[in-house]
Amino acid sequence: MSQVALERQIRLIYNAIDAGSAGMDKSALQQCNKLLKKHPSNDLVKVRIFHHGNRITLENEGSSGNLQALKALAIVRMNRIEECLPICDEVLASKPTDLETLNVMMLVLRALGRHTDLATMFDEAYRTQPENEELGMQDFFANIRTGNWKTAQQIAQRLHKAFGAGGADRFLYWAVLSTVLQANDPATPPAMRAILQKLAHRLLGTVTVPPYATADRLHVHISVLTALSLNDEAAALLDSEEGRAIAKTSLVVDELRRDLVRARGDFTAEGDRARAKLVEENDRNWLEFLAVLDATFAAPADADKVRDVRGLFRQLADADGRRDRGALLALLELEKRARENGFGSDFESQDGLLGLIKLYFERFGDKACCFEDLKPYTVLEGSELLALNAYLDAHTHVSDTEPTLYRSINVHKLRRHVLGADELSVTQETERALAYLRAYTAALGLGGALPETELQPADDLVLLAAQTFVGLWGTQNDVAWLYMAVSVLEYAARRSKNSYLVRLHLVRVHRLLSAPSLALQHYRAMRVKQVQNDTLSHFVLARAATFSLAAGGDLTLTQECVEASQIYATNSSETSEFIVRAFASEKYSQVTDLIAFEDRLDNSLQRDLVKIEHVRMRLAHEGPSTELADTELIELKFIFDRIHYDNRDFEVLPNYQPRGQPTFDAQTLMMNSPGLGWLSTFLRIYIRVFLLASDIDETVEEKLLIGDRPKVADIPENKIPLKERIHVRKEAELNELTADERTLFDYVSALCDWLGPYHDHARPQPEAVLAEVNRQQETLRGNNAKGAPKANGSPSPPTNGQKRHAEEPPAVRDPPEGVPEFFDSMAARFKEVSGEDRLPWEALHVATLTQEAALMLALASVRFKAPAVVKANKFGGLTVSLRALRQKASAVLKEMASGLGKIGAQASTSEKRRAFVDACRPIQEYPEFEHDSLMDVAKRLGDARKRVIEGVGKGIAKIATTQMQ
């Protein structure tokens, strides 16, 4: 084939891969196979691609590594992992050195999670060409992408030594920052961290260019000095003329400067500087106000200093008028701190707290932020509270314009916030809720001409009404209040289609009413994107298994788990590229923030809470199998070793309930919000059960694992062997469970303690399992075993059965009392929570936990269903006990399924709909909530409840019939 024809063929392959579609990936693979068939690796010259303007030319060099790499990339994008592995290994064995092949292989290895192989590949290539600066930089970037900070630091120093002449010391800064990152890595032993920081400091001492050459370089110097508590040296750098100029224009350096002020306690000088900026430069940065306040109350505080600053802030507030609210807020904060230190003014005077609240409300009461601004300053009692209430009650509510409407809304919010316990009777709260609705409907005309993409100005009034109804439900335990809450919110959602606050309220109330499909509908209408999945998905996925219909084949919630987890894959692939770009462009101040962002997402608590829910639903959908145990066990063990960060956003849901009362967030939780203790407990549950069912030990796991193992944090708990850690019982963690979940934990503990010795005796030797894995992998690589089971991308050993033992099998014992009694206690609990006075989710919670326990029993029994295993190990008595337990579980599950069917059948009857409408009679005086609209809400709610209750019941019946035999 001529060079021109070969060039044309290669270009077609690149174009097909760049297209990104499944069909084009297949086309690229076919073209690679054609070329490799004509030119096998020992004959074909290597294709090296160079860019000259817009033209691609080729150079021949002796092997087909580039074509093989392109083939591997096409295969991995088609998700044919097993087929890709031998090709990938072949290219790596050839030790490629050209950047084109290296870059293609980088895409392949990153897709496979083989980051260590990626770094090794670049390291070997750079060693063969130490004079190639570009290759050295790519080697450094490869180690940065994998978080291999130690190797990255060594490569950066080699680059500095080879190419750092003439003051080009960026490689030295790369080495410094890599050292700092290694010191900050959780996997670094604590004793090494101070040593690494000192090394970074010593490296900075060799820099030839002044540290203030750029803001980012100065940021590196200050960060290293403050990490070593060399605060005076850091202050000297910032106090220089150049340092002050940079701090004035760079927010990141100014942030470090403020942190340094707090660390040194230099509040007085900082206060003088901030005061000058406020007066001379008209700077209204809130941080400057705080600096003056901190200086005022730094010891020793006295009345004269407070009086002086009060005069300054009063002067600024008068000058700013309605243009800026910062000075007036500073006056409020000053008075709050003065009262705490015994220097407060008379409460009702001009400078007193009430006088300032009145002044602020007069100037900014028509701003949407008014309530949140004033809320911290309304913590009052006694006569002071009465005076504030009198002022608020004197307000005349008018809503003829948007400013007067916002002022009225703020009065309602403030007055509700300071309500006392003696003002929360059912009659008073009902009147308030109806007053909020009256004001809402009256103000709808202000937004009548707005396009439907805009929010109604009166939306906060309907939120006040809904929260009042929910509060009444919390005290009266009458579902009628929830019906009114959901009715007014559904109407508001139609009027303000893009109001995420209205929809978040609906998500919470619909879940309380056991209508998860409606909750999910409103959640999806918010169009949550990217990192918001990490912060907001808990609203619909917390304990999602309670509402899952996976056992019956409906994977809606399972798919939502998958979609919500896409951000974590995106983070792994994209954030590292941003880090590389930050190094390349010398934006060092961004590096640590990007790495912290990546780390918080990689170790997100919500990520692993969603994972547990997905495992629970997957077990119900697929049924117990050793393949499922093998695939999930490896990842759950990784999760168990992580340090978790809670990135969930709970503050996004506003709270308009009176102070001292449960928040709206707490009132609308079905159960307590799952946290790290809940996650750790369920990890222990599932790891213990999966360890029983699986034949994989650490040796086999290494063979099955395709990607790298995650870094393990250097904390004492992670040094305890896994089999000891999963038996730990922590009361603080168990307190995060519901009573029924705690019963499940005790049941699983008893079950695993009972069956553990029998599994250990019957489990095949690791050598036999490993041999079977190798055989399957060879078969797969020969394309002779399509569709074989896989674990983490590799085949799962099907053995799970017989092995020979020289020792006697353990004596068969009856199950401990806690195992059979679990099903009796859950049957009693189901009857208890199935009454008319209980919300349906309580029965669903008990039923799905019982289903989960039965599936774990079935999974723990799989090994002993093989007659050969039972006969070889003399486990006949054990199988009898297991069969009796499964029969007992089946009977309880069928009874629960029948009970759920009866509850579901009554969920959407005409009587229930009429009862819903009758319950909403108090709000029917408003035309917006007339009979037909309420009947529509009742029908949709009833249908959604019927669907989930009957669906869960049918799934439980299916499991009782198919898995409990």
Q: Can you give 52-86 as a three-state secondary structure string?
A: ECCEEEEEECCCCHHHHHHHHHHHHHCCCHHHHHH
What does the pLDDT look like over 661-706, one tens digit per residue? 999 999 999 999 999 999 999 999 999 999 999 988 777 777 667 7
What does the pLDDT look like over 561-599, one tens digit per residue? 999 999 998 898 889 999 999 999 999 999 999 999 999
For the chain, percent of residues with pLDDT exceeding 90: 70
Cα 103 from chain centre:
31
Residue 56 confidence (pLDDT): 32
Residue 789 confidence (pLDDT): 39
Upstream peptide bond of 300 is cis (omega within 30 degrees of 0): yes
Cα 578 from chain centre:
20
Residue 61 — φ and ψ, nearest 5°? Answer: -140, 0
Distance CA 135, CA 872 (A): 60
Name the range with the highest mean pLDDT among 50-54, 443-447, 535-539, 791-795: 535-539
753: exposed, middle or buried (Cβ count in 10 Å: 0-12, 13-18, 19+): middle
Q: Averaged over 866-870, what is the pLDDT?
A: 89
Distance CA 336, CA 785 (A): 74
Between these two residues, 143 and 771, which has the higher pLDDT value?
Answer: 143
Mean confidence (pLDDT) of the chain: 88
Residue 767 confidence (pLDDT): 78
Distance CA 670, CA 66 (A): 56
Buried b (16+ CB within 10 A) or exposed e, 172-200: bbbbbbbbbbbbbbeebeeeebeebbebb
What does the pLDDT look like over 782-791, one tens digit per residue? 543 344 334 4
Between these two residues, 51 and 845, which has the higher pLDDT value?
Answer: 845
Distance CA 35, CA 1 (A): 10
Cα 301 from chain centre:
44
What does the pLDDT look like over 907-948, one tens digit per residue? 999 999 999 999 999 999 999 999 999 999 999 999 999 999
CB 108 within 8 A of CB 85: no
Residue 64 confidence (pLDDT): 45
Query: Taking 90 as the threshold, does the pLDDT of residue 37 lie above it?
Result: no
Distance CA 631, CA 621 (A): 15
Cα 118 from chain centre:
28
For the chain, percent of residues with pLDDT exceeding 70: 89
Q: Averaged over 79-89, what is the pLDDT?
A: 78
* Short-list 846, 538, 544, CA closest to 675: 538
**What's the helix, strand, coil split of the chain in %, to 5?**
70, 0, 25
Among the listed ranges 6-15, 111-120, 638-647, 744-753, which one has the minimum average pLDDT value? Answer: 6-15
DSSP 624: S
3 state SS for 750-768: HHHHHHHHHHHHHCCCHHH
Query: Taking 60 as the threshold, does the pLDDT of residue 805 lie above it?
Result: no
In the chain, the amino acid numbered 776 is: Q
What does the pLDDT look like over 125-158, one tens digit per residue? 999 999 999 999 999 999 998 889 999 999 999 9
- Rounded to two decimals, the pTM is 0.90
Query: Taking 70 as the threshold, does the pLDDT of residue 39 lie above it?
Result: no
Q: Averaged over 740-768, what is the pLDDT?
A: 92
CB 466 within 8 A of CB 489: yes
What does the pLDDT look like over 277-292, one tens digit per residue? 999 999 999 999 999 9
Distance CA 230, CA 952 (A): 62
State the residue for tokens 């395709």. 706
804: exposed, middle or buried (Cβ count in 10 Å: 0-12, 13-18, 19+): exposed
What does the pLDDT look like over 477-522, one tens digit per residue? 999 999 999 999 999 999 999 999 999 999 999 999 999 999 999 9
The confidence band for 87, taking pLDDT boundaries of 50, 70 and 90, is: confident
Distance CA 307, CA 820 (A): 74
Distance CA 751, CA 684 (A): 13
What does the pLDDT look like over 456-470, one tens digit per residue? 999 999 999 999 999
* Strand 790-791 with 794-795, pairing: antiparallel
Query: Taking 80 as the threshold, does the pLDDT of residue 182 lie above it?
Result: yes
Query: Taking 70 as the threshold, does the pLDDT of residue 793 lie above it?
Result: no
Token pair of 320 as six digits: 């700013």
Residue 110 confidence (pLDDT): 82
